[in-house]
Every structure is written in structure tokens, then in C-alpha cells.
């Protein structure tokens, strides 16, 4: 460890208390990364990986500011981390860095049942936040599959999306106000009203900032009353394009089923074997809200699907999804067997989404050793929808796993960019998408983002290597 590194640790212990600073190798190893499959591969291969010099776990905003100031003054890279469920390498501590573990900021600050606002420390676990508001008859309306693995602050930092987003919106629609410590150590709190017209919206500076522009310490979310009624439905559609047309019709007519998902035939076989019908695709829906609206929406949507040539499928398929929706197999067993798997979420307008789907599936199918290249959609809007691709590749040699991985990513990134899509619907950029961001933002957009970063963090100590295309 460098002299500066040792001094920073000593100073952190003096200011935050020895019990807030960890230097055991086991703790450093456990905290050094998120759930990015390439970092997991490094661990499995017992690669020589860089480690942070310490993990620091502040308990309040003042302590966060102390850590930020010390790191800036000593030019020590600082890596903010929520619960490290990110899947893009947003948390991957460089050698000698300080890993800022925000899970100690875990207070539910207040629940306002009158105005429907929940105020949380940024490190609160998503499922704890939901349980706290449920106890007051309310819900966040935000259900990422990782709700029990991720923090409220992490949701904001990555622009997360929940499974019920079609009705409730994504995290940017739910955040009322943010509190953050900026790289210069100052704190900001954005305005908290239901809406404001006070210049550019500073929430959007932090939404999706992935630890590069500041540390989010508090999050106010708007809440919903728990739904009075819920109904499940499922339908078969001829193929993906037919399903996209049906979803467009549903959304553009003005209906918003809370859950609206569409699986291609490969995923129907893999995930819904008992409900498979020929090579048809499956549409799943959950309607929820006031009873009258649920009944009206269910009936109206069914008429739209049938008019478009769809068929009613057992609603038990949707119940099966509801029961299993947060169970995910780990990457480990695949990697141990020489297979690399990952998921890639993109989005495009309705006019291009069919070509994006066909292009990405064809490009994945052409990769040597591909076992599976498939997709479903899970978030629909009036103008378009997302696609969530899954791939599994077994290259001839284990040493080619990384190459196979990058080829698979390139297949989907290129198909999305070619069809006017975004490279990231909700997992963020991290390290895996860095090299693609310029293609989406364009030279002007990228330069603007780099100027904002430089203005707030001129020395670049906040989460270096993430979001912007620099080298580690």
C-alpha cells in the first residue's frame, strides 16, 4: 500500500471510527465488485484482481462528505457502492481505491401517508423500503427483479426499471427529490414539490450518473396506494412482430396494464414449457388498480388482442411468472461448465423494433458455440418498447469465454444502434457499454457529458473507468 493510501485509512479511522473502515482481505474481495459476469469470471479463474485499499461504511451524510473530501484531497479513487447488484461493472474497485459502502445509510426517514411520499436513506434495501410502505397501506410501485438485492440509491444511480413500470413508471418517474454529496464535498437537495419549473432539473444530473458525479445520500419517492384489485391474463400471438403491434395498439389506445411482457418462442419453451403452444409467442399481463378500472382494462385489452388475431392463453402462465419472477439462476454454474451467459436490454420505437429483434437474433445465431439467443419485452411505452436479450455461448476453449462474450454484446449493440434504438434500457453503462456510448450520444453529446464531469469532478477521482469511455 502507498504512503498516501495508509494515511487515508488512518485518517478515515480517526474521523469515522475504526469500526467504519475495513481492510481485511476477505472483506475487500467480497466488496470489490458488482454482479458483472466478467468480474465473476475473474474470481472463478482466481485471476490476480486489483483490490481497494479499504471499504468504508459511513452511517450518515456528514461521514459521506468526510470520505469524499479526503479522497479528493489525497487523489484517491472513490467507488460508491449500493448493494452491488449492478450487472455492468459499475462497481469494480481499482487498486488502492476507497470502496464507499452505502449500505450503512439504511434509515427509512419518513412515510407521508397524506401526500404519498416516502423518504429514504440511499442505502435502504429495496425490499425493506417496499415492506415499510406496505405496512402503511402503500407501495413504491417499483419492482426490479433485484428488489431484494439492490438499494434505493442504486436504482437512481443506474436509472432502474421495475416489472410493473408500464403503469407506475420507471425510477425517473417516481423520484420526487434527491439529496447528494458532490465531488467538492458540498451537499445538494433538489426541490421536492410535485413539479417545478425552476430551470434544468438537477435530479437528472444524478439519475444514471453511476457514482461518477456525486454520492446520492437520500431519495424521496412518490408512493401509490396498494391496489384494490388485480387480474392476470395471458394470450398467444403469432410471432414477435404481431405481438409488438398488439402492444402498440394497447398503449396507444390509452390502456396501461401494470405488467405487459412478451416472450419469443424460445423463451416460451425455456421458461413456460407447460404453456407452450406450437411456435406461438406469449403475452403476459397484470392489470391492477381500482376495481372498476381493472375490470374495464382487462376486457378492453382482451378485445384488442383477439381482434388482432391473438388467442386466449391460460392466465396460470402469468400466475407462474408472478410466483417465479425474482428467482434467477446464478452465472456460476454456467461459467464452471465453460458457458458464458448474460442479458442485454435495449429499446427502440415501434417502427423499428421488429427489425432490431430479427437483426440481433440473427447476429447471435451466427456466433460459434451459441446455445441460446432469445428475447422478451418487459416495458412498453406509447412510442416503443424494450427488448431483453439473453444469450448463452459455449466456445471451444474456456480461454475464449471473454471473446464470445464481447461478440454476443456487439451483436445486440450493433442491431440496436442500426435500428434507432438505445444501447441501454435500464442496466446502465458501467464498463461493459462504455465503448458504445459515443455512438448513441454522438460527439456533441459525449463532449457535453465529459464537460459536466470535468466541471464537477476536475481530477476525476469519482468512480473512474465508469460511464465515459476512458481506459482503466
- List of residues contacting ligand FAD (CB under 6 A): 34-35, 80-87, 90-91, 102, 122, 144-146, 149-151, 153-155, 157-158, 160-161, 210-211, 215-216, 328, 426-428, 463, 466
Task: Tell me whether residue 34 or residue 288 sits nearer to ligand FAD (CB atom).
Answer: 34
Q: What's the min distance (Å) between Cβ of 328 and ligand FAD? A: 4
Q: What's the min distance (Å) between Cβ of 180 and ligand FAD? A: 7
Residue with cell 429499446: 347
CA 359 centroid distance within chain = 24
CA 330/CA 142 separation, integer angstroms:
23
CA 237/CA 250 separation, integer angstroms:
14
Task: Tell me whether residue 124 or residue 280 sits nearer to ligand FAD (CB atom).
Answer: 124
Cα distances from 277 to residues 274, 297, 348, 377, in angstroms, run 9, 25, 28, 19
- Residue 338, sorted as left (phi over 0), alpha (psi -120 to 50) or beta, turns out to be left
| Contact indicator for 90, 34 with CB cutoff of 8 Å | yes
Q: What's the min distance (Å) between Cβ of 252 and ligand FAD? A: 25
| Contact indicator for 426, 158 with CB cutoff of 8 Å | yes
Task: Tell me whether residue 38 or residue 216 sits nearer to ligand FAD (CB atom).
Answer: 216
Q: What's the min distance (Å) between Cβ of 145 and ligand FAD? A: 3
Q: What's the min distance (Å) between Cβ of 126 and ligand FAD? A: 8
| Contact indicator for 341, 395 with CB cutoff of 8 Å | no
CA 389/CA 360 separation, integer angstroms:
8
| Contact indicator for 118, 133 with CB cutoff of 8 Å | yes
Packing angle of the helix pair 434-456, 401-418 (nearest 10 deg): 80
Task: Tell me whether residue 82 or residue 359 sits nearer to ligand FAD (CB atom).
Answer: 82
Task: Tell me whether residue 65 or residue 313 sits nearer to ligand FAD (CB atom).
Answer: 65
Task: Tell me whether residue 125 or residue 298 sits nearer to ligand FAD (CB atom).
Answer: 125
Q: What's the min distance (Å) between Cβ of 375 and ligand FAD? A: 15
Amino acid at each position: 500500500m502507498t504512503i498516501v493510501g495508509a494515511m487515508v485509512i488512518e485518517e478515515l479511522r480517526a474521523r469515522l471510527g475504526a469500526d467504519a473502515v475495513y481492510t481485511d482481505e476477505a472483506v475487500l474481495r467480497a466488496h470489490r465488485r458488482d454482479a458483472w459476469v466478467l468480474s465473476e469470471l475473474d474470481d472463478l479463474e482466481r485471476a490476480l484482481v486489483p483490490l481497494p485499499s479499504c471499504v468504508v461504511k459511513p452511517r450518515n451524510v456528514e461521514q459521506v462528505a468526510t470520505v469524499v473530501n479526503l479522497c479528493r484531497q489525497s487523489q484517491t479513487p472513490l467507488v460508491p457502492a449500493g448493494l452491488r447488484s449492478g450487472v455492468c461493472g459499475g462497481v469494480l474497485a481499482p487498486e488502492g481505491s476507497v470502496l464507499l459502502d452505502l449500505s450503512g445509510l439504511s434509515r427509512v426517514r419518513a412515510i407521508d401517508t397524506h401526500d404519498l411520499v416516502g423518504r429514504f436513506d440511499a442505502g435502504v434495501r429495496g425490499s425493506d423500503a417496499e415492506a415499510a410502505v406496505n405496512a402503511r397501506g402503500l407501495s413504491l410501485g417499483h419492482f426490479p427483479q433485484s428488489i431484494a438485492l439492490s438499494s434505493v440509491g442504486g436504482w437512481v444511480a443506474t436509472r432502474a426499471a421495475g416489472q410493473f413500470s408500464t403503469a407506475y413508471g420507471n425510477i425517473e418517474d417516481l423520484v420526487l427529490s434527491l439529496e447528494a454529496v458532490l465531488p467538492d464535498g458540498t451537499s445538494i437537495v433538489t426541490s421536492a414539490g410535485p413539479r417545478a419549473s425552476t430551470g434544468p432539473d438537477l435530479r437528472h444530473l444524478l439519475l444514471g450518473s453511476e457514482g461518477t458525479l456525486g454520492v446520492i445520500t437520500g431519495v424521496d419517492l412518490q408512493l401509490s396506494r396498494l391496489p384494490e384489485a388485480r387480474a392476470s391474463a395471458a394470450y398467444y400471438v403469432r410471432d414477435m412482430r404481431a405481438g409488438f403491434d398488439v402492444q402498440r395498439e394497447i398503449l396507444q389506445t390509452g390502456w396501461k396494464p401494470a405488467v405487459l411482457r412478451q416472450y419469443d418462442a424460445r423463451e416460451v419453451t425455456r421458461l413456460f414449457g407447460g404453456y407452450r403452444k406450437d411456435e406461438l409467442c406469449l403475452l403476459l399481463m397484470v392489470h391492477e388498480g381500482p376495481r372498476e378500472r381493472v375490470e374495464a382494462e382487462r376486457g378492453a385489452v382482451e378485445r384488442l388482442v383477439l381482434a388482432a388475431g391473438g388467442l386466449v392463453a391460460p392466465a396460470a402462465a402469468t400466475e407462474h411468472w408472478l410466483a417465479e419472477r425474482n428467482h434467477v439462476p446464478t452465472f456460476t454454474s454456467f461459467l464452471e461448465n465453460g458457458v458464458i451467459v448474460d442479458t442485454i436490454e435495449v429499446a427502440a420505437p415501434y417502427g423499428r423494433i421488429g427489425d432490431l429483434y430479427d437483426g440481433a437474433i440473427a447476429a447471435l445465431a451466427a456466433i460459434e458455440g451459441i446455445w441460446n439467443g432469445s428475447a422478451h419485452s418487459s416495458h412498453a411505452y406509447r412510442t416503443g418498447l424494450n427488448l431483453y436479450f439473453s444469450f448463452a455461448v459455449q466456445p471451444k476453449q474456456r480461454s475464449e469465454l471473454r471473446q464470445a462474450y464481447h461478440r454476443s454484446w456487439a451483436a445486440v449493440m450493433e442491431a440496436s444502434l442500426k435500428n434507432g434504438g438505445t444501447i441501454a434500457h435500464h442496466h446502465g453503462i458501467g464498463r461493459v457499454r462504455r465503448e458504445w456510448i459515443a455512438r448513441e450520444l454522438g460527439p456533441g453529446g459525449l463532449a457535453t457529458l465529459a464537460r459536466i464531469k470535468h466541471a464537477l469532478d476536475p481530477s476525476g477521482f469519482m468512480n473512474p473507468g465508469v460511464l465515459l469511455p476512458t481506459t482503466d
